[in-house]
Structure 1
Amino acid sequence: MADLLTMKNASFPIPKYDEWEQEAEKSLKGKPLEKLVTTTYEQLQIKPIYIRSDIETTPEQYPGFPSYVRGTEPDGYMKKPWAVSQAISAKSPKEWNEIATYDIARGQTEIHLILDELGFSITSLGDVETMFSGISLSDYSIRLDAGACSLSVLALFIAYFHKQQLPLDSLRGTIGMDPLSALAIKGELPTSLSTLYDVMADVTRWAKEQLPLIKTIIVHGEPYHHGGANAVQELAFSFATAVEYINECLKRGLTVDEVAERMSFSFAIGADFFMEIAKLRAARAMWSNIIQAFGGSERAQKMSLHARTSYFTKTVYDPYVNMLRASAEAFAAIVGGANSLHVSPFDEAIRPADEFSRRIARNTQLILLEEAHIGKVIDPAGGSYYVETLTAQIAEAAWKLFQQIEAKGGMTKALQAGVVQAEIENIAKLREQNVKMRKERIIGTNVYANVAEPKPNIQSVSSTKDESYDGETMERTGNWLDSAIAFARRRATARGIDAALAMTSPSIAISPVRQWRLSEPFEQLRQAAERHLETHGKRPTVHLINLGAIAHHKARADFMSGFFEAGGFAVVKNDGYMSVDEAIKGALEADGTHYIICGTDESYPEAVPAIAKALKDANPPRNVYVAGKQPLEIETTFIEAGVDGFIHIGSNCYETLVAFMKEMGVALDGAES
């Protein structure tokens, strides 16, 4: 046995790029090396290998130092790990209290609620008292996403602290508003932007004195991500929003440091692992540059960054795969340096989370922290030639788009003009097309679908709120927050505060950013197939005509099975016909309407025309397709013999399935056929 010390001290020659290039070209068998370069949705060129020279022009960075690309703390998560910040929803304040108490005892470290997804309305001081009964807000940070306006809920929280005789300076975390995010999602606001900016400035000014550990402004990237935007767009639109908030608060007498230090950013983390890591790193660098340009301090340049795993990537069918998706996304968020993280429950697209799905989501973070020890490595992506290069590329591209939005007058005007929506929709359509073509694969949905899977019971995951109000309305006297706190102390309702805001000047309306999930096109086909099964007793069905021995037809037969099962079709198979006559006899006995011939290219010239003619001459005639792309002259011959089309790897799977369903009388819109 070789001496272990000798082996440890042995060195290997450093490989040269030219040597790698030669070996790569050999493996490509004459194809150019450029074949290995890919283009992302951000229109960035990704090389197959990165070397030291790729980052020679990148300034050397250190964790905890401007521009904070490697994190805002020199020791990363060593002293303070990221906050396990799972958003909690429920049907009532009492149920919310029970869930929050249960989850906090099992590893959640930040109390997180999103008003628009809460499941009920926080209408009074009594609701707050019920929700936080037995929970010490002084012991946990809070992340409360108030939507377009935080005035009423913040006033109720302050009234609650006063009643409990708790010091306000012990409340830490975020109770924030983001009116432009709400506008992008809903297309309208409860009141004018001018009024909301007045509230934002008043709340921020008041918090500076009374709530020193609370951030009051949230900037969300999720509305753009969940609309299909790429990483560059998500950053550019988020920072255009942040700059508008800064400018509006400066107009109202605040300083850049007072505003910037009260901001928290929230980004969705998608499926492109390295892109998402680089996105968060680029975000910190961009924010540092923006605040520096405003004349802000180094402290104000430090970004507070919350992340949530993507809703856009989650599926209704085969939902347990969502656990794997969320795990990879959570990993990327932590490597990218998020300060807090929400991991979406695997059933997020189906129903409100239950105890099991909440536990799996929470434990995903705890495993990364306690077992994978991700927090014990400071900026694990730092120094990676690929990640550092990608970070710089994203930052540069996002900065250019950000400047274009600024040149159009800022984020509000860009939304009103439809510029933001059009930019996102361009990428969304490309993503949608790639999913339909199965170039972008979604396991369990457009590939490897399981038609035997039980039909999911889809339930609404958003709250239904009664916005009607005819009670006492708050009167504003000076500062918006002071008026709201005084009103809340009288045990008045949040709706009275909201009503006072609604009485101000009218809001604006825009075309909202379409919120969708990548798997929706195929989910709609699956649902149509399931409705057809319920009403007609069978799924839409295709029959395979497999030619020859298994080895001769299996590859194409398997491809066809996966192709049609993605739409919820039943696929009738056979072990292979050994003659054309046998194939015709078997097909006619099957009594179907749509047939796919699967075999070798060599078997097709003899078999396809004969089978197609026989099936077309039958009463009623059958629809006949051929598996695999053929040369043009052969396709022409087959079409003349009666073949209806050809299905292959280049076919648009979604459009083919839609065409088949229409021919079979399957109702795609839920109406009876």
Structure 2
Amino acid sequence: MADLSTMKNVSFPIPSDEEWKEEVEKSLKGKPIEKLHSMTYEQLQLKPIYTRRDLQPLQLEQYPGFPSYVRGTEPNGYIGKPWAVSQELFAASPNEWNEIAKHDLARGQTEIHLVLDRLGFIVSSLDDLEEMFSGVSISDYSLRVDAGACSLSFLSLLVAYLQKQQIPLDTLRGTVGMDPLAALAEKGKLSISLSTLYDVMADVTKWAKEHMPHMKTIIVHSEPYHNGGANAVQELAFAFATAVEYMSECLERGLMIDEAAERISFSFAIGSNFFMEIAKLRAARLIWSRIVQAFGGNEQSQKIAIHARTSHFTKTVYDPYVNMLRATAEAFAAVVGGASSIHASPFDEAIQPADEFSRRIARNTQLILLEEAHIGKVIDPAGGSYYVETLTAQVAEEAWKLFQQIEAKGGMTKALEEGFVQAEVEKVAKLREQNVKMRKEKIVGTNFYANLAEPLAQQRSASEQPLDEVHGNEVNVTFSGISWMQTAVSFAQRRATAQDINAALATAGPSIPIQPIRQWRLAEPFEQLRQAAEHHLEKRGKRPTVHLINLGAIAHHKARADFITGFFEAGGFAVVKNDGYMSNDDAIKGALEAEGTHYIICGADESYPEAVPAIAKALKSANPPRNIYVAGKQPSEIETTFVQAGVDGFIHIASNCYETLVAFMKEMGVALDE
């Protein structure tokens, strides 16, 4: 027997591509290897294997930290500076938010993160900020504030607060950003004209350069497109078309390219396609570097700042603990892709505002990746991967093409007004929705492996106060247009409220309304069916029910009976089973005694020609007649025979699960619109 050193030096012959292909086709029993190819929502064809040959046409970067930054913007990756644990904090009041912030910052959160539109209360006055940040050393943490369409009112209140507390403005770091086009895409309208918002954006950016040099002032979100169903290519193209419009508007208002580009932070949603999401973030660095370089920006401006949010689109109301696994895989992809800061979704995000437990699990997801999995100690772990490098290049190329299409239309605003963006997103959304309904796209706990015994989550109420119901001190705020930021700060110091400032901005009139992008989650179609079934249970005392007619021994019917059970439980149906009937007479007798309305015959194909017509005819002649279905796809001539005997339909892997369940519910009198 060879010793270890000899074994280490043994070289195995490297099989050629043709030899590998021959072996694969043998295992496929003669089918071509192309059977293993798959198509993504980005219309990119994925191969079963990638080799060095796939990298030959690509110009790969050798080291992180160098243009075009595909491998990362920092030479040492996360080793010198880990990504920021940036969990969004929600509360019902400033005091509650303060308690939550102090609690979570003491337990591993490293960035203060709030989204004003989802905060749970309105930051209206200087008093609110004083209460929120009481006992919080704000200059010790980076700050991430998503201010929605306009950041002027919040930023001016923040500056007034800092000045009152005698905290130097230049010690603050992070982002207080505005993204009017994302708000327009999501809501369809803005209360302030885009022209005014761009005036404010440019002025705030100029002001921050002088007074808050470590603060970014613009956020570009991909979430409105992602949550509408967009693919990775569309997310990148729409985000960068938005960023280019923002930079162009700032340049027209007197800023230099580096002054504008360095103030932009990107926020990308991270979905469930693990390698696609890694490639998306790597491609984002390449595209941004190319864009800023084309504008004449320096190398520092070419370094993109990426915040990543695990996807809201992929989260579910039912079986919500599975969301922990989804968020973990998505956060893992964000880390491998090189995000600068990350928000991991609390598992109950689709149900209710996070509580202490769900916040802790989400926060610890990141801390485990950092402290226990040690992912941050590997610089660009995806670098050099034949698959990921190829996918990165493909995503970047396709996103660049779509970006150029938008530019040819006159930019992002024109593309939104024309409806181009909405139509492109909806095309992919319809395909996603169809795949979910057909169960080609599996959602564990929702359209697959539904748990009907799961207790419903008890939703906690949140006191959200509409903006127009909050009244301040009625300070008369007017802007001269000379310095938006300086004027707003002076009014904030005189106790003007956010509402006073926003009202003054709105005097120029609203933006042109557009068709908003439909915001939804993948699981919603089946969640609606589950809710309808539960309402039916509350009103009628039982769920909509189907009865199985299992034929023969368990081994003969189990596979199809299990398939049908999962199929109907995805819609909240009760499925009544049996151990198998050994004769047609027993099957007919058992079915009639069950007193159901809808029956599915489950058995082996060889038992069907003799059993199905007999059972169908007997149940159709009963009073009242039953609805009879057969599990499994049959040859067309056999199906014709079965239909003539009274069979109403066939349920199999190619059936549209959602539409079948809807049809059954309507026949059973289940209200689908409650």
TM-score by length of 2: 0.98
How far apart in 1 are the matches of 2:460 and 2:610? Answer: 53
Name 1:239's counterpart in structure 2.
240
Name 2:265's counterpart in structure 1.
264
Name 2:98's counterpart in structure 1.
97
> What residue ranges of structure 2 are gaps of 5+ in the alignment?
none
How far apart in 2 are the matches of 1:462 and 1:385? Answer: 51
How far apart in 2 are the matches of 1:461 and 1:53? Answer: 56
- Corresponding residue to 2:475 among 467, 472, 477: 472
Instruction: Report the 3-state secondary structure (helix = DSSP H, G, I; strand = E; otherwise coil) of the residue aligned with 1:43.
Output: coil
Residue type matched to 2:651 in 1? I
How far apart in 1 are the matches of 2:68 and 2:502? Answer: 40
How far apart in 1 are the matches of 2:462 and 2:10? Answer: 59
1:223 and 2:227 aligned: no
Report the alpha carbon displacement of residue 508 of structure 1 after superposing the two structures with TM. 1.6
1:71 and 2:72 aligned: yes
1:596 and 2:597 aligned: no
Q: How many residues align?
A: 670
- Corresponding residue to 1:668 among 651, 669, 672: 672
How far apart in 1 are the matches of 2:347 and 2:6? Answer: 49
Alignment of 1:485-634 (within 5 A): 485-634=489-638
Residue type matched to 1:140 in 2? Y
Alignment of 1:283-298 (within 5 A): 283-298=284-299
Instruction: Report the 3-state secondary structure (helix = DSSP H, G, I; strand = E; otherwise coil) of the residue aligned with 2:654.
Output: coil
Residue type matched to 2:15 in 1? P
Name 1:32's counterpart in structure 2.
32
- Aligned-residue RMSD, C-alpha: 1.1
Task: Evaluate the alpha carbon distance shift between residue 462 and residue 649 of structure 1 in structure 2; reply closer, same or farther with a 3 A threshold.
Answer: farther
Instruction: Report the 3-state secondary structure (helix = DSSP H, G, I; strand = E; otherwise coil) of the residue aligned with 1:544.
Output: strand
How far apart in 2 are the matches of 1:504 and 1:372? Answer: 53
Contact 2:189/2:510 (8 A) holds in 1: no
Contact 2:416/2:514 (8 A) holds in 1: yes
Contact 2:475/2:495 (8 A) holds in 1: no
Report the alpha carbon displacement of residue 8 of structure 1 after superposing the two structures with TM. 3.4
How far apart in 2 are the matches of 1:459 and 1:588? Answer: 45
Residue type matched to 2:230 in 1? A
Task: Evaluate the alpha carbon distance shift between residue 247 and residue 462 of structure 1 in structure 2; reply closer, same or farther with a 3 A threshold.
Answer: farther
Instruction: Report the 3-state secondary structure (helix = DSSP H, G, I; strand = E; otherwise coil) of the residue aligned with 2:217.
Output: strand
Report the alpha carbon displacement of residue 16 of structure 1 after superposing the two structures with TM. 2.1
Task: Evaluate the alpha carbon distance shift between residue 44 and residue 464 of structure 1 in structure 2; reply closer, same or farther with a 3 A threshold.
Answer: farther
Name 2:43's counterpart in structure 1.
43
Contact 2:226/2:235 (8 A) holds in 1: yes
Name 2:343's counterpart in structure 1.
342
Alignment of 1:117-128 (within 5 A): 117-128=118-129
Task: Evaluate the alpha carbon distance shift between residue 487 and residue 374 of structure 1 in structure 2; reply closer, same or farther with a 3 A threshold.
Answer: same
How far apart in 2 are the matches of 1:7 and 1:375? Answer: 33
Report the alpha carbon displacement of residue 461 of structure 1 after superposing the two structures with TM. 7.2
How far apart in 2 are the matches of 1:93 and 1:472? Answer: 22
Contact 1:116/1:462 (8 A) holds in 2: no
How far apart in 2 are the matches of 1:476 and 1:91? Answer: 32
1:420 and 2:421 aligned: yes
Residue type matched to 1:663 in 2? E
Name 1:54's counterpart in structure 2.
54
Contact 2:270/2:310 (8 A) holds in 1: yes
Residue type matched to 2:20 in 1? W
> What residue ranges of structure 1 are gaps of 5+ in the alignment?
none
Report the alpha carbon displacement of residue 466 of structure 1 after superposing the two structures with TM. 3.1
CA deviation string 1:324-372 (max 9, x = no partner)? 0000000000000000000010000000000000000000000000000
Contact 1:116/1:463 (8 A) holds in 2: no
How far apart in 1 are the matches of 2:36 and 2:435? Answer: 19
How far apart in 1 are the matches of 2:459 and 2:394? Answer: 40
Instruction: Report the 3-state secondary structure (helix = DSSP H, G, I; strand = E; otherwise coil) of the residue aligned with 1:658.
Output: helix
Moved more, 471-480 or 424-433: 471-480
Contact 1:68/1:288 (8 A) holds in 2: yes
1:637 and 2:641 aligned: yes
CA deviation string 1:206-233 (max 9, x = no partner)? 0000000000000000100000000000
Contact 1:64/1:72 (8 A) holds in 2: yes
How far apart in 1 are the matches of 2:318 and 2:4? Answer: 51
Instruction: Report the 3-state secondary structure (helix = DSSP H, G, I; strand = E; otherwise coil) of the residue aligned with 1:218.
Output: strand
Residue type matched to 1:60 in 2? L
Name 2:655's counterpart in structure 1.
651
Contact 1:87/1:342 (8 A) holds in 2: yes
Task: Evaluate the alpha carbon distance shift between residue 549 and residue 51 of structure 1 in structure 2; reply closer, same or farther with a 3 A threshold.
Answer: same
How far apart in 2 are the matches of 1:302 and 1:465? Answer: 38
How far apart in 2 are the matches of 1:87 and 1:4? Answer: 53
1:304 and 2:311 aligned: no
Residue type matched to 1:473 in 2? N
Name 1:320's counterpart in structure 2.
321
Report the alpha carbon displacement of residue 459 of structure 1 after superposing the two structures with TM. 5.6
Name 2:390's counterpart in structure 1.
389
Report the alpha carbon displacement of residue 12 of structure 1 after superposing the two structures with TM. 2.6
Instruction: Report the 3-state secondary structure (helix = DSSP H, G, I; strand = E; otherwise coil) of the residue aligned with 1:523.
Output: helix
Report the alpha carbon displacement of residue 2 of structure 1 after superposing the two structures with TM. 5.4
1:434 and 2:438 aligned: no
CA deviation string 1:383-430 (max 9, x = no partner)? 001000000000000000000011111101111111100000000000
TM-score by length of 1: 0.98
How far apart in 1 are the matches of 2:463 and 2:15? Answer: 55
